[in-house]
Structure 1
Amino acid sequence: MNVIKPTRVRRSRAFVTVFLKEVRENLRDRRTLISAFVTGPLLTPLIFVMLISVSIHRQLDKAEQPLKVPVIGAQYAPNLIDALKAGGIVPQPAIADPEKAVREQEADLVLRLSAEYPKAWRQGEPVQVEMIYDSSQRDAGGSVDRVNQLVQSYARQQGVMRLVARGLSPGTAWPVQVARRDQATAESRAVLLFNMLPYLFVLTIFIGGMYLAIDLTAGERERQSLEPLFANPVPRWKILLGKLAAICAFSTASLLICLLAFSLVGRFLPTDKLGMEINLGWHFAANVLLLQWPMIVLLAALQSLVAAFAKSYREAQTYLSLLMMLPILPSIMLMVMPIKPQEWMYAVPLLGQHLGIIDLLRGTGVAPMHMLLCLAGTAAAALVAVAIGMQLYRSERLAISG
């Protein structure tokens, strides 16, 4: 690690000199480059989009392809079986133990018709169709819904025919009808798939600056290069700001690469087949970058503070790995407790960014007041963290390793 020489550095340029030195030196570090420009910003979008794309294609293919369903007592309801066949269901031979077959995932579901079905049907009495399935198996949910809709459709059709045969209006059986008016737009429905996107952006920022933050604090302590650096006639707060600026530069570059990657790979998602629309273009990227600017500074300051308390590079890496769990808290909270966003929530760091990005995904945009609250709240927290860092940099113990 090079030492800033007093003869070559003026106090007025100390901040810029520290910033350029740290950026230049860490651009030669392979571990920092991989974490800042590959692991977070490139692999995360690719894996995220790939998983969603595979899931969508699998569900669509399963909905369109013929569905094999074992049926017990198919001979008792030939008309029902014909209706299921018309809907793409392929009846399979009966299974001796349907409950065991479902539990062991040998079948998604099994239909069972009682031997009393024909007699009850001829007498105009309600008949029962048993659907044996396991609701804990997520992969079986689509099959269960598909068969259930076909059975319900057949039941309504037969109910109407019975009423007409008795000279009654079909509306007699349904005196109240529910008219659904779904106000969801194609953009707002996309939030169901991309609810974790705000967390991925923050995680990208975190990973982009993590190794640099460790190296500039705990790493230099371990190499015993902080003490010579502090010996220069330069205010230590300028040294800290120079290091923070370098961390923010790497984090910002990481976020920009991530946004670019999402804008490219997001075009290959078949969201239109699900009635969804997602726009991850330049307008979305610019707003996300604006929302995350104070968060970039806040995370850089927090990473530097945590790394400053570590005595070695490995120890700092352990501490920051635990700190990495912090950005996921808003996402978990909103998934576990779906709450209506309030204005004050936008002023809470991490939570405000999450709500703002969700607004962008919904296509409504971030209201100016919400944007102001988000920027002001996170900026205030960042200033506090930077101020604590400045106080810590005044301590002589920071430069001492061991």
Structure 2
Amino acid sequence: MNAFSAVYWKEVRENLRDRRTLVNALLTGPLLGPVLFIMLMNVMVNRELARADQPIDVPVIGAELAPNLVNALKGAGIDAEPAVADPERAVHDMDADIVIRIAPDYVKAWNKGQPVQVELVYDSSRRDANTAVARVRNVVESYAKREGAMRLIARGLSPATAWPVTVADRDQATSQSRSALMFSFLPYFFVLTVFMGGMYLAIDLTAGERERQSLEPLFVNPVARWKLLAGKLAAICTFSLISLLLSVLAFSTAPWFIPTEKLGIALDFGVHFGARVLLLMLPLIALLAALQSLVSAFAKSYREAQTYLSILMIIPILPSALLSVIPVRPEPWMYAVPLLGQNLGIVQLMRGDGVTGQEVLLCLAGGFAAAALAIIATAVMYRSERLAISG
């Protein structure tokens, strides 16, 4: 058995016996997050769908002035409740999601054929009230259009006279591309899973051994330093790869628990999707393993390395955060940028558009080039005798 294999299997076996590494690499990162997200998404979606179908009670001020409007609301499952003295306060105190206020001159203006005012009092910052507000607004606007058309007909005019221009929507979104909006965070989550999967192992194999003063006996062996580093990096990559695989498998169960048919979306997280994700993420597994080892090498203790890597963890967030704030049109060169290329590629897969061979090659080339630079920098650090000194 050569030095590389000896170091690799030694580190893998030792960390398989380390409960902390196993919990963080193979449980917390790849499984806990997807399970919690799927459960929360399932509860939230079912709750919103239930609220969209159930009757709601809405206080109406001046309901006696517009009985036809009240009947239209009732026909849509919106029951008029007694008026409240202060609608703004009722909405602010969350006693009501929305309050309808009919202008006192409603009848007079209506009889003269003049526009009438119906106020909707609500708080747009309350996400739990958005469903009720949308339902009420749609009913009121539909009632207004219908009555407007009736006025024109009574005057011998075609309703089309009031709408010389009509808008015809041609939405090109597919059920699968709409699902990309709901799961737009997925690329970041996969990157974070890879990071968490190898982080504790990288700390233990560098800063941990330095703190235990076991690096110096290892370095005095007549073995090239690069072989020692290669064995350690391979062990870190193995745990990261397993962590990513478990995460992909966990998210593949999402269609079983989320009512995709009711939402009009399609989730395809099958074998084809998982295989492409693993391929795109391969460069990042090597890159993050090298970066984690490099940063940990500057720390003299396990806790200090944790602090450093917690700061390094911000880097995987940047592409997803930037794309969520500043949507960009993908350009070929972007796929060659590590992290950004993986983010764009996975989003394309979720949309059902797929990634071309050129985009895959750019993603792999850029990622492995960055990983090679990080590995070289780590190898230079491993050649330093200061690394073996804990004090």
Give TM-score scaled by structure 1 length.
0.96
Partner AA of 1:157 in structure 2: R
2:177 matched to 1:151?
A: no
Match of 1:249 among 238, 257, 268: 238
Q: Secondary structure at the match of 1:127?
A: coil
Tell me, in whole angstroms, the C-alpha distance in 2 between the residues paired with 1:173 and 1:281.
Answer: 51
Deviation of the 1:134 alpha carbon: 1.0
1:69·1:107 contact (CA, 8 Å) conserved in 2? yes
**What does 1:156-167 align with in structure 2 at a 5 Å threshold?**
156-167=145-156
Tell me, in whole angstroms, the C-alpha distance in 2 between the residues paired with 1:70 and 1:327.
Answer: 48
Look up the match of 1:206.
Answer: 195
2:87 matched to 1:98?
A: yes
Q: Secondary structure at the match of 1:125?
A: coil
Deviation of the 1:267 alpha carbon: 2.0
CA-to-partner distance for each residue in 1:133-165, whole Å, 9 max, x for gaps?
A: 111111112211111110010011111111111
Match of 1:15 among 4, 11, 14: 4
Look up the match of 2:100.
Answer: 111
Give the number of aligned pairs.
391
2:283 matched to 1:294?
A: yes
Look up the match of 1:395.
Answer: 384
Look up the match of 1:87.
Answer: 76
2:21 matched to 1:32?
A: yes
2:267 matched to 1:274?
A: no
2:124 matched to 1:129?
A: no
RMSD after superposition: 0.9
Match of 1:331 among 320, 326, 330: 320
Tell me, in whole angstroms, the C-alpha distance in 1 between the residues paired with 2:222 and 2:138.
Answer: 78
Partner AA of 1:103 in structure 2: H
**What does 1:224-373 align with in structure 2 at a 5 Å threshold?**
224-373=213-362
1:15·1:238 contact (CA, 8 Å) conserved in 2? yes
Tell me, in whole angstroms, the C-alpha distance in 2 between the residues paired with 1:340 and 1:95.
Answer: 49
Partner AA of 2:355 in structure 1: V
Q: Secondary structure at the match of 1:276?
A: coil
2:375 matched to 1:386?
A: yes
CA-to-partner distance for each residue in 1:147-187, whole Å, 9 max, x for gaps?
A: 11100100111111111111111100100000000000000
Partner AA of 1:326 in structure 2: I
Which moved further from structure 2: 51-60 or 172-181?
51-60
Tell me, in whole angstroms, the C-alpha distance in 2 between the residues paired with 1:148 and 1:126.
Answer: 17
Deviation of the 1:118 alpha carbon: 0.7
1:306·1:316 contact (CA, 8 Å) conserved in 2? yes
Q: Secondary structure at the match of 1:70?
A: strand
CA-to-partner distance for each residue in 1:91-111, whole Å, 9 max, x for gaps?
A: 111111111111122211110
Look up the match of 2:130.
Answer: 141
Q: Secondary structure at the match of 2:60?
A: strand
Deviation of the 1:196 alpha carbon: 0.4
Deviation of the 1:369 alpha carbon: 1.2
1:83·1:150 contact (CA, 8 Å) conserved in 2? yes
Look up the match of 2:173.
Answer: 184
Consecutive unaligned residues in structure 2, runs of 5 or more:
none
Deviation of the 1:313 alpha carbon: 0.3
CA-to-partner distance for each residue in 1:107-137, whole Å, 9 max, x for gaps?
A: 1111000110011111111001000111111
Look up the match of 1:5.
Answer: none
Tell me, in whole angstroms, the C-alpha distance in 1 between the residues paired with 2:302 and 2:255.
Answer: 37
Tell me, in whole angstroms, the C-alpha distance in 2 between the residues paired with 1:139 and 1:72.
Answer: 22
Look up the match of 2:209.
Answer: 220
Q: Secondary structure at the match of 1:111?
A: strand
Tell me, in whole angstroms, the C-alpha distance in 1 between the residues paired with 2:185 and 2:6.
Answer: 38
Partner AA of 2:257 in structure 1: F
Deviation of the 1:266 alpha carbon: 3.5
1:49·1:266 contact (CA, 8 Å) conserved in 2? no
1:298·1:379 contact (CA, 8 Å) conserved in 2? yes
1:35·1:207 contact (CA, 8 Å) conserved in 2? yes
Deviation of the 1:265 alpha carbon: 3.8
Partner AA of 1:94 in structure 2: A
CA-to-partner distance for each residue in 1:255-279, whole Å, 9 max, x for gaps?
A: 1111111112432111221110011
Tell me, in whole angstroms, the C-alpha distance in 2 between the residues paired with 1:54 and 1:353.
Answer: 30
Look up the match of 1:6.
Answer: none
Partner AA of 1:343 in structure 2: P
Which moved further from structure 2: 216-225 or 161-170?
161-170
Partner AA of 1:337 in structure 2: I
Tell me, in whole angstroms, the C-alpha distance in 2 between the residues paired with 1:131 and 1:75.
Answer: 17
Q: Secondary structure at the match of 2:124?
A: coil
Partner AA of 1:58 in structure 2: R
Look up the match of 1:68.
Answer: 57
